[in-house]
Structure 1
Amino acid sequence: MKKNYILLCCIILLSCLPLYLLFSHKSTDLIVSEGERLDVHKLESIVNLASSRGKAGSGDVKAPTFTLKTLDGSYSTIGGKRDKPLVVHFWASWCEACSVEVPTLRKLNEQYKNQVDFVGINVATEEKLENIQKFVLTNHISYPVLLDEHKHAADLYELHALPTVFLIDTNGYIVDTFHMVDPLELEEKVGRLAKR
């Protein structure tokens, strides 16, 4: 009888183990999936319109909403209405093209800091925190840096290459997106965003 009791207790404990593991190992990557994934077909039309210097209509492609941990340990949410338009820069420290693009973004952040917000999103599942911090310090990045440790934001934004920049208006709609453009073109795009 005593052996049966011990066996029953062991079975109960083992059956509770998956629940314990599920709730005790929460990710450091907090995601609020209010927004859905981007509609890639609509996004293409916005990119074409932006390339021809047309003005994308609001309501075309809503920027997905998510919340991520920042480099300083707090949390930040992207998506929805804002006081200022937003430049979202997806990057990784091992990405050479990202290093090339950052100086222009840093300069534009200083130039438009009263009109446009900037945020960097590090997309690296296996990147060491020291490498991310070194990239930020080396490139003198002063705007907030978010950590997309499990690529949830990258998946929501249908990200396929680094670096990728999204320009989001004050109503939370994407008005342009691109990969590695000429610094003068980047400056022109951010200048147009500042006037929205």
Structure 2
Amino acid sequence: MKQMIGLFIGLAILSFFPFYFSMSNGSAEPVSGDGQRLDFHKLENIIRLAESKGKPGPDDVKAPAFTLKATNGAYYSIGGKREKPLVIHFWASWCEACSVEVPMIRKLYEQYKNQVDFFGINVFTEEKPENMEKFIQDNRLSYPILLDEHKHAADLYQLHALPTVFLIDKNGFVLDTFHMIDPLELQEKVGRLAGQ
């Protein structure tokens, strides 16, 4: 009888553990396997690769992995292999340069959306939600806008300025990064990404 009571108590304790761990995480959001942060030397590798217009090798830079919630309520993950290459555009509504650049990003999305995925990442910690929504509507942005509420993605990507764009290939390698470049150069870079 004592063994049966002990077994029952043991099973009750074991069945409580999943509940405890789900409550201690405090979130129903998906947990992502985060990538390592880009460091200065990795950023140098990205610039070197972009200047040479080469393809990444085994020592080149993998895009840090993360998952963020979008304004449409869905979750999107970045990092690792994917069906299409990817353009990531970090922005905020208060950033004047972002207002100048985003119409070109929208135009490129409309041109290449069948060959390239586009994600806008709003640096939400420095943002007023109503300003962000107005920015999205005024610029008619229809690609997913991810909310970087705790600057998690910005920290992983060593973000130092807005706007910042990252180009990522289908294998998850960062091919290029830049701040506010000439529209023709931006078109050329995204066109080259689409052709991979």
TM-score (norm 1): 0.82
Please identify, of 59-68 and 32-41, the stretch whose mean Cα deviation from structure 2 is larger: 32-41
SS at match of 1:77: strand
- Report deviation, 1:56: 3.5
Structure 1 residue aligned with 2:3: none
CA distance in 1, matches of 2:111, 2:138: 20
- Report deviation, 1:92: 0.4
SS at match of 1:36: coil
Q: Does 2:99 align with 1:99?
A: yes
Structure 2 unaligned blocks of 5 or more: 1-22
Q: Deviations over 1:73-100 (max 9, x none)?
A: 2211111110000000000010000010
CA distance in 2, matches of 1:91, 1:153: 12
Structure 1 unaligned blocks of 5 or more: 1-22
- Report deviation, 1:27: 6.9
Moved beyond 4 Å, runs of 4+? 23-31
Structure 2 residue aligned with 1:39: 39
CA distance in 2, matches of 1:47, 1:164: 14
CA distance in 2, matches of 1:120, 1:61: 21
SS at match of 1:93: coil
CA RMSD across the alignment: 2.0
Aligned length: 174
SS at match of 1:35: coil
**Matched AA of 2:35:** G
SS at match of 2:160: coil
SS at match of 2:32: coil
Alignment CA distance shift 1:102-1:58 (3 Å): farther
SS at match of 2:142: coil
CA contact 1:31–1:152 (8 Å) conserved in 2: no
Q: Deviations over 1:6-45 (max 9, x none)?
A: xxxxxxxxxxxxxxxxx68957986624311113312212
